[in-house]
A and B are shown apart, each in its own frame.
Chain A
Amino acid sequence: MAPSFDQLDPETGDYDAEDDVDFTDLKEQYEVRMEEGLDTFVVIDGLPKVPEDSKPKLVKFLLRKLTTAGKTKEDDVYMPLDESTGQTGGYAFVEYETAAQAAAAVKLLHGTPLDKKHTIAVNKLTDIERYGREGKIDETYHEPEIASFEEKEHLRWWLGDPEGRDQFIMFKADDVGVYWNERDDVPDQIVNRTGWTETFVQWSPKGTYLISMHAQGVQLWGGPNWSRQKRFMHPGANLVDVSPDERYITTWSHKAMEVQEGNPVLSLEEDGKNYIIWDVATAKPIRSFVTLDLAGPTNDAEGNPIKQKIQWPAFKWSSDAKYVARMTQGQSISVYELPKMNLMDRQSIKIEGVMDFEWAPASPQRDNIKTYEQLFCYWTPELGSNPAKVGLMSIPSKDIVRTRNLFNVSDAKLHWQSEASFVCVKVDRHSKSGKSKATNLEIFRVREKGVPVEVVDSIKDTVINFAWEPKGDRFVLITAGEVPDGAPVPPKTSVSFFCPEKSKGNTIGNFKLIRTIDKKNNNAIHWSPNGRFVVVATVMNQQSFDLDFWDLDFEGEKDEKDKDLTANLQLMTTADHYGVTDIEWDPSGRYVATTASFWKHRMENGYHLYTFSGTTLREEPTEQFKQFSWRPRPERLLSKDEMKNVRKNLREYSKTFEELDVAKKSSANKAVVEARRRLLQEWLAYRQRVQEDLEEEREALGLTAVSEERAALEVADDGETRVVEEIYEEILAEEEEIVD
């Protein structure tokens, strides 16, 4: 008979030895895994406590919610009664058909409010077992360890350059380097790293970070030591976009991500997604999305999949980065609110047929509108008997501020002016027969009362490029004539300049054509970031590669016929850069860099640097030159008045800089001369040493000195060489033809 517990003395027990055998390994092996098979169960807490007779009602009510996540029925909801009170305990166990549905229920329903007082908590039963059991979680509170403060590098250090120089990156072969612009001198290298990026590099919009692309994700670099600031693990990321305030970053990969459990940064939430929107400060993902397929056929006539160009950026930021929006083409626009990335008002804005939309690039200042708003512009094509429409919508109110109906529209492009004063809708229209094409410009004057629309319809050809003057009210466009099918050469293009007429008071007059320049090949317009100057160029072209530098406020004499216009157009210079592919103004508007990139072709890769007026400063052909990119600057801190003051007293301010330039130039010259002097001395010393050695050796061998041999040669020459140049002209044949 086995002894009972009370008979045993713990001190003297004979069975101790036996009991001490460690069975834990066996126990572990044979323990019944209770959780198994319980994956389909969820536990719901936070339910109201109701008496027995109203229980079915509650279950029914609850079921309505529960079935949104998966299949379950009344019998599978077990809501125990508390025997002491006769009421339900405020909790329930629910069995779903599959474990996946149960997981979905947790994701979907956890934290859902039932009414004002009750919010349900939905957990997996297995999780309750795992974490809910006593002792599984440490009950005592441990203060989290706060890392000691570490001083970060100053991310905007480059703005403090005493000479006010700008920086740029150059990417050649595998080397990415950051340089100071030294105008016509060799750029001053700050840092150079081989293999810094795997595909390309990009500056953030205010220039704080340099972004590099890798197979594992995206990295941000900055500070005077170019140390890594942030890392965003997005496997296979192809493209990256940073919000205008540099607080958020969007990464996109062509391939959907595969995230394994236990990934330190990404959760299963991100599995199968293409986009991630990250918080830059924490380097954590906020929300992820899949790529939306564009409407239209996915296969061409032969059944091959059509490669669709993705729209980039698909997530467009409002100017203050409070909102980010994405369009589902033809259906709706989804606006998400930052910083949580929740869908505004929990639903997308339905806009039937929407083809494109564009946020205002600055906070709009509409007449008599005092409340906060952001605007975006969108357009929809003709749908059945409804005309095509262009609309302006205000966010967050979702009010449509202005719409305009359009007919015979084949395509439209939206161009905002940089301060959101105007938005120009470039409408390509086809004639009734659908053959010939023409372009209309519908210009919305956003700041004026009622948002009037001005139409410029004097353009006969299709407009292939359009650009507003930054911070201004003038624009340039390029039109191309019709090309007969199969013509080997691209059509000649015309460049047209527009500006508002002079008007009284503060209003802006009607837009008028200044001048059209015909028979050009130009296809690119690049305005100076400060306006006034514009480079109209031909890029990515085999035959021509000219760069025209225009001034719209030429200070010389103005044509009589232009006296009502707010511009005085003048071509300053024409330069050419063989094989130019990219053109970029520096952020100060003082220099223009043009690139012939290895990515586009392999001929004479390299870059040219021009002044704003088209004077060539540098030409640097470089093998495998890939990318040139100016570092952007944040917006200026000076107020309008201060800037005006600077402009007024420019001469005084520029004086110090001019002196600096002169000093620099002369010291540079001096340094060059000094270096040359040193080189020459070294060379002469070297020659003397070698010659002496040689003479010594020759003497030992009984040979004559080299100089004597040389002299002997000279003697052979009588020293009276005369050059007689005779030109013979010989007539080989002479023929006379009489042409009647």
Chain B
Amino acid sequence: MRPILLSGHERALTQVKFSKEGDLIFSVSKDHIVCAWYSANGERFGAYKGHQGALWTVDVDPTTTLLATGGADNTMRLWEVRTGKLLKTWDYATSVKRVEFSEDGRQLLAVTEKRTGQLSTVYIYDISPDPSEPAPSEHALRIVVDEQPRVTVAGFSYLNHFIIMGHEDGSVSQWDAKSGEHIKDNYSHEDGMQVSDLQWSADRTYFLTASKDKTAKLHDTATLEVLKTYTADTPLNSAAICPDPQQYVILGGGQAAMDVTTTSQRQGKFEARFYHKVFEEEIGRVRGHFGPLNSVAVDPTGKCYCSGGEDGYVRVHHFDPPYFDFQFEVEREARAESRI
């Protein structure tokens, strides 16, 4: 099916996110604007204006009532999705690189950047799902990361047991979400190759990290063990897990513009790559962007995916029937067996 091109941003996209029902797409870009789109037809639902700097991150709570955004203006902001009302602004000393709601939507985390004199810090707030209740100014928990390298991404595990962080040196770490204690590390990606994205499976028992070392790795949340590795031929910026029953992961990346000598599409490898989640084999690629893919996201109901590129476009692709039908022989066998 023909992809839908969402051309509402003027600068590079930094993150795209689906609502839990998959009907809305939220996108943030370096042009200071947060956009919400209908995934079905690409119409713009609205924009959230107020940020004074480039935006790095966005997340929406599971009931699609609250939206959190963070950016280079050193603030995290909380919005009401339906009305676009700014509910709360938190100010920090450095820019906000990542925000994420917990599985139940009652907690919100923010990762602030490490810069001269400031350590990477993860702030956690208790949030009420009711937008009329004021959000707290004080954080419930603060994790100052001083021993590990700079934090690039972070998120809540299943049942808010842990906070998982991805670091600049390619490692992932696990922290207790109640006490803020450091539990363990796994140096899973190549040393010095930052973890650029971390996305969860539907039940948050495993997660996928993308790294500049050209691989994406599937980790078990509880043990941090690497379950699967997907190797691409270009540095990765983002990786998403397709919801069951489809067993795919989608990787996005591309040569950063500064590393490309001739910016032809051939050189840049600006494609979304589909891999089989279990067999680690590449299945297909989707072209279209003419800059690196900065963020990919999959509709939680599995009908479509979207990608946000350095080129300023969000492309929404609704899956065609072959996507749902394609199966490896052994998968077909296994399914036949389970039916019996």
Contact = CB atoms under 8 A, between A and B. Distances in A.
Given A603-B267, A690-B206, A680 B159 contact: no
B266 A578 contact: yes
14 contacts: A578-B266, A677-B330, A679-B279, A680-B278, A680-B331, A680-B334, A683-B278, A684-B334, A690-B206, A691-B203, A694-B158, A706-B202, A717-B301, A723-B1
Contacts of A713: 20-21, 300-301
B328 A676 contact: yes
A621 B233 contact: yes
A301 interface: no
Interface in A343-401: none
Interface in A665-693: 673, 676-677, 679-681, 683-684, 686, 690-691
A686 B159 CA distance: 19
A701 B267 CA distance: 52
A697 interface: yes
A725 interface: yes
A637 interface: no
A717 B39 CA distance: 14
Nearest to B233: A621
Contact of A701 (B159, B329, B330, B333): B159
B159 A691 contact: no
Interface in B191-233: 202-203, 205-206, 220, 222, 227, 233
Contacts of B222: 690
Contacts of B21: 713, 716-717
A716 B277 CA distance: 28
Contacts of A404: none
Contacts of A681: 334
A698 interface: yes
Given A603-B261, A684-B334, A676 B267 contact: no
A725 B279 contact: no
A710 interface: yes
Interface of B: 1-2, 20-21, 158-159, 202-203, 205-206, 220, 222, 227, 233, 261-262, 266-267, 277-279, 300-301, 303, 318, 328-331, 333-334
A691 B203 CA distance: 9
Contacts of B203: 691, 694, 706
Contacts of B329: 673, 676
Contacts of A717: 21, 301
Contacts of B1: 723, 725
A514 B159 CA distance: 78
A686 B247 CA distance: 14
Contacts of A602: 261
A694 B205 contact: yes
Nearest to A683: B278
A673 B330 contact: yes
B225 to A, nearest CB: 10
Nearest to B328: A676
A212 to B, nearest CB: 27
Contacts of B267: 603-604
B237 to A, nearest CB: 18
A703 B159 CA distance: 10
Contacts of B334: 680-681, 684
Given A680-B331, A694-B203, A713-B301, 16 more contacts: A602-B261, A604-B267, A676-B328, A676-B329, A676-B330, A680-B279, A681-B334, A684-B334, A686-B227, A690-B222, A694-B158, A697-B159, A703-B159, A710-B202, A725-B1, A725-B2
B279 A676 contact: yes
A676 B331 CA distance: 9
A458 to B, nearest CB: 41
Nearest to A706: B203
A686 to B, nearest CB: 7
B330 A680 contact: yes
Contacts of A725: 1-2
A608 B220 CA distance: 37
In the A-B complex, the 3 residue pairs with the smallest Cβ-Cβ separation, listed nearest first, are A683-B278, A677-B330, A676-B330
Contacts of A603: 261-262, 267
Contacts of B300: 713
Contact of B205 (A677, A691, A721): A691
Contacts of A677: 330, 333
A621 B279 CA distance: 21
Contacts of B206: 690
A605 to B, nearest CB: 11
Contacts of A604: 267
A680 B261 CA distance: 42
Contacts of B278: 679-680, 683
Contacts of A716: 21
Interface string A702-725: 010010001001101100010101
B192 to A, nearest CB: 15
B244 to A, nearest CB: 9
Contacts of A684: 334
A694 B203 CA distance: 9
A243 B305 CA distance: 63
A609 B1 CA distance: 36
Nearest to A716: B21
Nearest to B161: A697
A690 B205 contact: yes
Interface in A574-605: 578, 602-604
A604 B220 CA distance: 34
A215 B267 CA distance: 37
A702 to B, nearest CB: 12
B16 to A, nearest CB: 20
Interface string A76-95: 00000000000000000000
A698 B205 CA distance: 13
Contacts of B20: 713
Contacts of A714: 301
A604 to B, nearest CB: 8
A684 B1 CA distance: 31
Nearest to B280: A679
A535 B330 CA distance: 42
A652 to B, nearest CB: 36
B236 to A, nearest CB: 15
Contacts of A690: 205-206, 220, 222
A578 B269 CA distance: 14
A93 B265 CA distance: 85
A341 B329 CA distance: 68
A620 B56 CA distance: 35
A703 B204 CA distance: 15
A680 B327 CA distance: 12
A638 to B, nearest CB: 43
A673 B20 CA distance: 36
A673 B281 CA distance: 13
Contacts of A621: 233
Contacts of A680: 278-279, 328, 330-331, 334
Nearest to A674: B330
A684 B21 CA distance: 26
A214 to B, nearest CB: 28
A697 B203 CA distance: 13
Contacts of B333: 677
B111 to A, nearest CB: 26
A619 to B, nearest CB: 11
Contacts of B220: 690
Nearest to A682: B278
A683 B2 CA distance: 34
B61 to A, nearest CB: 14
Contacts of A703: 159
A578 B262 CA distance: 13
A684 B331 CA distance: 11
A690 B300 CA distance: 20
Nearest to B333: A677
A723 B4 CA distance: 13
A716 B20 CA distance: 11
B204 to A, nearest CB: 9
B86 to A, nearest CB: 28
Contacts of B227: 686
